[in-house]
Amino acid sequence: MDKDNLGPLGPVSRLTLGGGGLGQLWGRTDRAECVATVRAAVDAGIDLIDLAYRYGEGEAELVFGEAFAGQVPAGVRVTSKCLLGNTLAAEIEDRLRESIHDSLTRLRLERLDLFFLHSNVAPDDHPMRQHPDAAARMTAQGDFVTVVRPCFERFVAEGLISAWGLTGIGHPDAIIDLLGGRPAPAVVQCIANPLDSPGSLKIYDEPARPRDIIAAAQANQVGVMGIRAVQAGALTDAIDRDLPDDHPEIGDYNRAGAYRALAAELGTSAAALGHRYALSMAGVDTVVLGVKNRAELAECVAAAAAGPLPADVMARVDGCF
């Protein structure tokens, strides 16, 4: 599989295996199939596995631990994340250390290659901090700068993690500001789909601006992991889980009728087209997959092998929205 440089982490496979499908967030599967999918991904040349406790309350990490029993193939790197939320400043370091320790136990590893803040970073005085989910999902930018970032740097110095990153679904002004700060994250995870949509992850009123975040990452030598290539199923042929009619992913799915028609005209699935689109976006170093079985994995591997989309096809996809 082709590789690209992920910021200071150096070369990684153009596809990353994500933990959402392994944690059964994107439809039901079983543990044995997920274990087989992790092993098949590594056999296919994928050398970055992106996990978190939130993916099935530890299930995705348990899957990885079972797949390799602590004997990870050479060259394979593993991430995890902590959804810190609005933890009191005095408790942040203990919470982060506990998250890392628990993840390593499930993974059967001694160190994380990359550790992300999973929270939405919010500007200190922004209205999004009044959202009903703020306590669980948001971390104030000021707390990140004064407490979280120094903790991350300590963890690197201690050898507990090799590098740290941001989940770029917080407010774009905050994310772009932190990408330009020092020390900068090694990696940021950015929305990478033709809708430019975070779907249900977005909890602020302003535009999401994922391409501005990607450009800021490039300008600051920060690696970019593209996420939500198929926008949680909205850019597939059919959403494979029950969602209410007013759910953001259903709204995006309904917006994508012309896109699915284009995929059919091109003789490909909507999901394969979405992954090739994300892989073709400027500045995206690796695309995180949300697959839950080997069949979905194989389709994504084939999409990567097909190479970048021609410019005219990229333009046609963009024209669908």
Q: Is the pLDDT of residue 240 over 90?
A: no
Task: Give the separation between CA 276 and CA 48, rounded to whole angstroms.
Answer: 18
Rounded Cα distance between 199 and 248, Å, is 5
Residue 196 reports pLDDT greater than 90? yes
Task: Flag whether pLDDT at 51 surpasses 90.
Answer: yes
User: Are the C-beta atoms of residues 317 and 259 closer than 8 Å to each other?
Assistant: yes
Structural domain that includes position 265: 3-319
- What is the count of structural domains for the chain? 1
Q: Is 150 exposed, middle or buried (0-12, 13-18, 19+ CB in 10 A)?
A: middle
Q: 137: pLDDT confidence band, cut at 50, 70 and 90? A: very high
Q: What's the pLDDT tens digit per position in 87-129?
A: 999 999 999 999 999 999 999 999 999 999 999 999 999 999 9
pLDDT score, position 158: 98
Which residue in the block uniquely carries the two structure tokens 């389709």?
299
Average per-residue pLDDT for the chain: 97
Distances from the Cα of 274 to the Cα of 142, 162, 221, 237, 263, angstroms: 36, 31, 26, 11, 9
- 112 in helix, strand or coil? strand
pLDDT at 201 > cutoff 90 = yes
Please report, for the domain that includes residue 46, its CATH number.
Answer: 3.20.20.100
Report pLDDT for 310: 98
Residues forming beta bridges with residue 3, ordered by sequence position: 13
pLDDT (0 to 100) of residue 217: 98
> Residue 169: its pLDDT value, please?
95
Hey, what are 66's tokens?
């079972």
Q: For residue 28, is pLDDT > 90?
A: no
pLDDT at 266: 98
**271-296 per-position pLDDT tens digit:** 999 999 999 999 999 999 999 999 99
pLDDT at residue 229 tops 90? yes
Residue 148 has phi, psi (to 5 degrees) of: -65, -50
Q: Give Cα separations from 25 to 20, 58, 178, 210 (angstroms).
A: 5, 12, 29, 23
Residue 26 has a pLDDT of 82
| pLDDT of 189 over the 90 cut | yes
pLDDT in tens, 247-262: 999 999 999 999 999 9
Query: pTM of the entire structure?
Result: 0.97
